Structure 1
């Protein structure tokens, strides 16, 4: 299957990155290279684009789509949490812009065997990196009821987390849970009928929670933001697209801390802690998809873009 990924908030990301000719850019989640093609066009032949993705299928698709840009594009099959060591290994010290699109690509959702979607029956996998030893199947069959409950409650913000965890444990005592359809049926039986009839698909939050847990998505985000800001040249931009409130909250909190790092008590008239602001926030409120984009790509509905710029340190 072709690696299809419709880039979300494309125009807004390109504007946010403020791309200049000859600049150096990182696309930390290159996917199908939808954003990267536009970055490569604008940076020109003297620019450098470092494309990172932990999904080898994405890297292969990006290589094909960006082949006309030759040595200007460096593709690395790795996790964006390692971007600092990746760019340094390429002999790059600082960059002009970084883009992170934290969503699951359209391709991964559509590729049934990956187990990301509750709409298709498949093995319970959900790994972005196929070398990762932990799958969704591992979690639902081998982790404790308390651990499963906490994951679904915290990462899925699911009000029926306790019942879903109980029903998972009950089912796995009779047979191993190996498919997405099995899990969807368990979730549906755990959630009372009136609650199933309102809101999104009853399995949506649990599947989101398991995907986050399998790929440690939230655990690596804070470190990545700090590393990313550290890699930016003065006036370089960091653009991050999130798809659920937990990620967005982490990005918002980290941006605020990096913009106003002072830890002095408010009553002290002058800062004595020595913490200096590293960024200025470009988008106070998250940027969301236009009605035109939503019509063309309903998956953009929950996308939020936040943009920050590296300050010139005095």
Structure 2
């Protein structure tokens, strides 16, 4: 083996004190079986529990481990981006710490990479330990996104994947702030394939992806890769305008024939409320796009690193402190 790092694992962490030790042992076991030099980059995304303390203990024992501590919680996609910015390997593998995506699938991914594939993503054929609501909404969303975009974003996949160094460099060069990593990986292209696996129930603890966070990720995916919501709003506006004109003419004709009053307060209020609701929905869609334009214009860093810790740093009683961020 050479001194060159072949594999870099990027593992986002947010309040994973119940699972972090088991996650570390399983990841280490898998990576040792590759018989190649590797590093595991844990990104502590502003955890408020004992995740950081436990990770520092692990760093003291294992020279292959790096710990990056954010100054606060910046989100899952920012944590993945930070890991890709810092990773040194020829191949970078992104996996969550909750062990729902089995680390053992990494070995199959590395085989595909050795065969010449630049991206190997994990495709879920089964999802255990998840509610019907979660399974239904996830399945529906992935297919909706695929139908709305001009790029091929694989369905039933998450961020668990292996990417080649040149793919990682291409992703690191992209400046956008509201990042949807799995969509960006498809956008940059290169030779891609997949490995199938059954997604497991969480080893311990609860999911950190609340409904609010899932909704934001969904909007990031749609607004980053599709303008169809705006087109639908325009078409629907034209359609409702046409229907309104037809109803107005019909109402006038009916009122003239029957000698009734054209103005009907209940009808007018109902139509106004319906139209107000429709307009509010489409303004909200427009606001999503405008808000993202505003985020890009502010040019704030995607994340801020409080400290970076490794085995050697702890042995020397040193910690690299400072600010690091994605351009």
TM-score with structure 2 length normalisation? 0.26
Name which one, 1 or 2, has greater alpha-carbon Rg.
2
Asked which structure has the greater RCO (Cα within 8 Å, sep 6+), the reply is: 2
